[in-house]
């Protein structure tokens, strides 16, 4: 493991920090919108507007899509520079959560599997934040076992006609485009016969119904599709070979979630404990020390991944370790923050002096244990790929999907 920047990385970091100091709002300032994705801080509409304006500035100034080719508006840099940029930007009052599915997941998948025409059409508006994307993968009976999807796409001339239901679609109501998995051949085994589509969310036949979460927000929706028509040129990769594209999307998603909790800094909680005169409470001190140690371990796990990236090696199952660890850290951080706030922790409005940031983080923490592959699924990956344990039994891998009794819509 290498903790130090190379001279080239150090110079990139200095340049990035100087640009951010000149252009980004400071954390805690009136313009800070870094926690705007949490319910009750700023309205979803204002957050969308602020993240879009910030993203446009990044593109115009050459700081967006650090690893993306220049031809599509990116910087043409190395993966390590992308990590350094995220580390530096995270110190400021800015956020890019709106574009997590687009720039973080759909973009890398289109770059890897898309045609030249698809890259030319979708990547630039995606990177500028002009077109927001959502992920139409999960269904009521297909989450951890994603290949169990029953949404059907049937070819009709130059179009595909899609009918089915998705669920937990983050940002569906504010998205312009979606990445969609649908079954195109039920006579093949379940991981085959799936096709990956790029779908215009304004197409006729979509019915988007937001779901209310315990945080109070409506972050995701149920999405019903009734004969939604998709042009044949919007297939990504090959027909019936969508699983390969889905794997690219999912591995990017896991890395994103694993690395995405840096703003939940234990240091801020320690500061709050001092202000509240609770820093001497022995039980709270113990819990805060536990969180601090976990944050350090996470930093070192991050260094492992960075060292691999710096040497040009793509990260492997360590993203599963990081994701699992991040979920547990956030759970403990949420519990500790509410224990510290005491009865005030039960207030979910601006009645609380601390605002509602910690209450919101506490309520959102369980979602991180599920999103992007649940804790149990990450443990399975670690068991098989790190510890070399036998693979899970999957008797349905070679049987035609139709014969599993789930022919779909
Ligand atoms: C905040 C958030 C945002 C999301 N956003 C999106 C989105 O934008 N688009 C989208 O498509 N989906 C999204 N999802 C859905 C997410 O991908 C699924 O919730 C996740 O894959 C788990 O699937 P499931 O909810 O169907 O649970 P299930 O797969 O039904 O799992 C239920 C329980 O069984 C356990 N389990 C399942 N299989 C195994 C196994 N093999 N071994 C051991 N235990 C197992 C799980 O760990 C879990 O505890 C989001 C979820 C969350 C929480």
Whole-prediction pTM value? 0.93
Q: What's the CA-to-centroid distance between 326 and ligand 1, angstroms?
A: 16
**Tens digit of each residue's pLDDT, the chain (409 residues):** 667 889 999 999 999 999 999 999 998 898 999 887 777 678 888 999 999 999 999 999 999 999 999 999 999 998 889 889 988 998 999 999 899 999 999 999 999 999 999 999 999 999 999 999 999 999 999 999 999 999 999 999 999 999 999 999 999 999 999 999 999 999 999 999 999 999 999 999 999 999 999 888 888 999 999 999 999 999 999 999 999 999 999 888 877 766 655 556 788 889 989 988 999 999 999 999 999 999 888 888 887 877 777 777 777 788 888 889 889 999 999 999 999 988 888 887 666 666 678 888 899 999 999 998 899 999 999 999 889 999 888 878 889 999 887 755 4
Count other Cβ atoms within 10 Å, centred on residue 24: 21
Domains recognised in the chain with CATH numbers: 7-95 (1.10.540), 133-240 (2.40.110.10), 261-372 (1.20.140)
Q: Which is the catalytic residue, given 39, 88, 139, 253? A: 253
For 48, 96, 220, 334, the CA distances from 42, given in Å and listed in that order, are 10, 15, 18, 21
In this structure, are residues 261 and 232 in contact, taking their beta carbons and an 8 Å threshold? no
Quote the ligand 1 centre to 138 CA distance (angstroms). 8
Residue nearest to atom 31 of ligand 1 (CA): 144
- Percent helix / strand / coil, the chain, rounded to 5: 50, 15, 35
Nearest CA to ligand 1 atom 35: 376
Given ligand 1 and candidates 140, 168, 369, 396, which is best to mutate, with the most ligand atoms within 8 Å of its CB?
168
CA of 257 to the centre of ligand 1 (A): 14
Regarding the beta carbon of 256 and ligand 1, being less than 6 Å apart is answered no
Instruction: Cite the DSSP H helix spans in 276-356.
Output: 282-310, 318-341
* Ligand 1 atom closest to residue 138's alpha carbon, by position in its atom list: 11
DSSP 343: G
């Amino acid at each position: 493991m290498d903790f130090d920047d190379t001279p080239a990385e150090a110079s990139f970091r200095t340049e990035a920090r100087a640009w951010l100091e000149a252009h980004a709002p400071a954390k805690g300032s009136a313009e800070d919108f870094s926690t705007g994705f949490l319910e009750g801080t700023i309205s979803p509409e204002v957050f969308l507007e602020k993240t879009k304006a910030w993203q446009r500035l990044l593109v115009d100034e050459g700081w967006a899509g650090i690893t993306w080719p220049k031809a599509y508006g990116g910087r043409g840099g190395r993966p390590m520079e992308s990590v350094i940029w995220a580390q530096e930007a995270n110190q400021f009052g800015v956020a890019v959560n709106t574009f997590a599915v687009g720039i973080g997941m759909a973009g890398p998948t289109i770059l890897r599997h898309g045609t030249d025409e698809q890259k030319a059409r979708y990547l630039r508006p995606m990177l500028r934040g002009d077109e927001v994307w959502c992920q139409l993968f999960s269904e009521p009976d297909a989450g951890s076992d994603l290949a169990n999807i029953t949404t059907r796409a049937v070819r009709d001339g130059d179009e595909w006609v899609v009918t089915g239901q998705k669920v937990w679609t983050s940002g569906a109501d504010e998205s312009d485009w979606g990445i969609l998995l649908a079954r195109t051949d039920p006579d093949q085994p379940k991981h085959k016969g799936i096709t990956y589509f790029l779908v215009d969310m304004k197409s006729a036949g979509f019915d988007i119904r937001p779901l209310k979460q315990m945080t109070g927000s409506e972050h995701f929706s149920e999405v019903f599709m009734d004969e939604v028509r998709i042009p044949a040129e919007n297939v990504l990769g090959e027909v019936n070979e969508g699983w390969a594209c889905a794997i690219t999307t999912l591995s990017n998603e896991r890395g994103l979630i694993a690395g995405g909790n840096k703003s939940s800094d234990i240091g801020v909680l320690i500061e709050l404990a001092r202000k509240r005169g609770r820093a001497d409470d022995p039980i709270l001190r113990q819990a805060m020390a536990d969180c601090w140690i976990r944050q350090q371990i996470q930093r070192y796990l991050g260094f492992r991944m960075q060292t691999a990236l710096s040497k040009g090696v793509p990260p492997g199952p360590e993203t599963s370790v990081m994701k699992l660890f991040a979920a547990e850290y956030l759970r403990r951080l949420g519990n500790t923050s509410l224990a510290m706030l005491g009865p005030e922790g039960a207030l979910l409005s601006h009645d609380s002096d601390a605002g509602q940031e910690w209450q919101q983080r506490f309520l959102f923490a369980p979602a991180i244990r599920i999103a992007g592959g649940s804790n149990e699924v990450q443990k399975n990956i670690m068991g098989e790929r790190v510890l070399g344990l036998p693979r899970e039994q999957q008797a349905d891998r070679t049987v035609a999907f139709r014969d599993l009794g789930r022919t779909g819509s």
